[in-house]
Amino acid sequence: MAQMGHDKFYICAHDRGARVAHKLCVNHPDMVLKAMFLDIAPTLAMYNRTDFTFAKAYYHWFFLIQPSPFPEDLINSNPEAFMEASMGRQARMKIFNQDCLKSYTEVMKDPAAVHAMCEDYRAAASIDLEEHKEDDHKGRKIQCPIMVLWGQQGIIEKCFDAIEEWKKVSNSTVAGESLDCGHYIPEEAPDALLSHILRFLT
């Protein structure tokens, strides 16, 4: 962002991007004015509170962190099948713009991209957790106001108290609500999301 000429900015991020945004807020509190996180709880909280319901729904968290090249080899053998199993069966795949879905599929056919994806999850279950624990121990928390949105049909609603979990890692205000959708808020509830963005990120 500094290279693009922005010394202060707002963030709205979903899923993996929101996990990066969380760490960005902690490491650079003077740069982030406000942050909006979509359909996640803090990574450490999600691992610490893993139960059968969470593990069954988010099986890929535990599959992708297995040592290379086991998950990579299985995904590369049929990337389309992995995408459908991970992103939703055909009925739910219809929520995605077809051009975007085609791009996602093409990327998933690239073994280097698959390896990078697995490495992201491996980091989330190793060094990222250690850094989260260190931040907690040293009292490093998010300093900017946070808005959290999550899907009523998603796993965050079923397994976590999103507002309370984000309050534990924040020194500022935390607000939010569930929306009438699943995990893919930008695709499933774009109007509601835009309304929240326009009200909060100002």
Q: Let me know if 196 is a catalytic residue.
A: no
pLDDT greater than 90 at residue 168: yes
Q: Which of 15, 120, 136, 161 is catalytic?
A: 15
Q: What percent of the chain has pLDDT over 70?
A: 99
In this prediction, residue 93 carries a pLDDT of 82
Kindly indicate the confidence band of residue 123, based on its pLDDT and cuts at 50, 70 and 90.
Answer: very high
Catalytic residue among 28, 183, 191, 196: 183
Look at phi and psi of residue 88 and say left if phi exceeds 0, alpha if psi is from -120 to 50, else beta: left
User: What is the band of 90 on the pLDDT scale with cuts at 50, 70, 90?
Assistant: very low
Please state the rounded mean pLDDT for residues 8-21.
97
The whole-number pLDDT of residue 89 equals 59
What DSSP string describes the chain? -TTTT-SSEEEEEETHHHHHHHHHHHH-TTTEEEEEEES---HHHHHHT--HHHHHHTHHHHHTTSPTTHHHHHHHH-HHHHHHHHH--HHHHTTS-HHHHHHHHHHHT-HHHHHHHHHHHHHHTTHHHHHHHHHHHHT--B-S-EEEEEETTSHHHHH--HHHHHHHTBSS-EEEEEESS-S-HHHH-HHHHHHHHHHH--
Q: Is 16 exposed, middle or buried (0-12, 13-18, 19+ CB in 10 A)?
A: middle
Q: Where residue 94 falls among pLDDT bands split at 50, 70, 90?
A: confident
Is the predicted pLDDT of residue 92 greater than 50, yes or no? yes
Active site residue 15: yes
The one-letter amino acid code at 50 reads T
Q: Closest Cα partner for 183 from 39, 82, 54?
A: 39
